[in-house]
């Protein structure tokens, strides 16, 4: 059975409510025990508020830019990286072998930890924990992803049409008989936004 005192050291936080700590590290595969799923739900909101508040206070960027930046902190990839740096999965109690740890287990566990710390120590404790552990994932290069996707299916490349207006830039991109639009403060950001939209359309077909 994992040593939860070691889990506390990994988190850098000592729980007053040890039962809450135990629930935090209990996977839903353990039938008959309270799992950390409700803590995941709470932690998702705690992380979202922390990141939103931090970005709002620290930047004069537009709503769209702030939204894009927030995604890089709350994405599955960012939360998995944060969990990996702490090594929390080694303390998780679960049943069913390694198959139980697939999917979003790592990011869910980090969310559960944030939720548990918030319940145990309040906002200040959660804020301190997230300020130490949360990481920003790299922004995906959707132009590259779109080009690779298209070139796997045809010899053509995506065609971008960008225009400057009063509010920045707008862009339309066309490929494989489909098109999508995007906006951004710069031409590059507008092209990325358009590429992201078209990539989503094509890969959802």
**DSSP letters of 88-156?**
GGGG-B-SSGGGGG-TTHHHHHHHHHHHHHHHHHHHHHHHHHHHHH--PPPPP-HHHHHHHHHHTT-S-
Which is catalytic among the residues 40, 83, 111, 191?
111
Order of strands, edge to edge, in the sheet holding 178-184? 159-165, 168-175, 178-184
CA dihedral (5, 7, 12, 15) positive or negative: negative
- What is the Cα–Cα distance from 128 to 14, expressed in whole angstroms? 13
The answer to whether residue 164 is catalytic is no
Active site residue 120: no
**Annotated active-site residue in 44, 81, 120, 172:** 44
Total residues belonging to the chain:
205
Residues serving a catalytic function are 44, 111
């Amino acid at each position: 059975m994992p040593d939860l005192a070691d889990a506390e050291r990994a988190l850098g936080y000592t729980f007053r409510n040890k039962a809450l700590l135990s629930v935090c590290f209990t996977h839903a595969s353990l039938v008959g025990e309270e799992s950390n799923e409700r803590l995941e739900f709470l932690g998702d909101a705690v992380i979202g508020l922390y990141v939103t508040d931090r970005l709002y206070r620290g930047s004069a960027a537009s709503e769209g830019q702030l939204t894009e930046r927030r995604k890089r902190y709350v994405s599955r990839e960012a939360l998995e990286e944060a969990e990996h740096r702490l090594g929390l999965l080694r303390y998780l109690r679960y049943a069913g072998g390694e198959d139980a740890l697939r999917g979003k287990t790592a990011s869910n566990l980090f969310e559960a930890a944030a939720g548990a710390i918030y319940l145990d120590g309040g906002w200040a404790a959660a804020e301190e924990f997230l300020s130490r552990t949360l990481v920003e994932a790299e922004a995906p290069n959707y132009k590259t992803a779109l080009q690779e996707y298209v070139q796997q299916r045809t010899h053509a490349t995506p065609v971008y049409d960008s225009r400057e207006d009063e509010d920045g830039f707008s862009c339309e991109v066309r490929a494989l008989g489909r098109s999508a639009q995007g906006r951004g403060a710069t031409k590059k950001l507008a092209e990325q936004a358009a590429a992201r939209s078209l990539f989503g359309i094509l890969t959802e077909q």
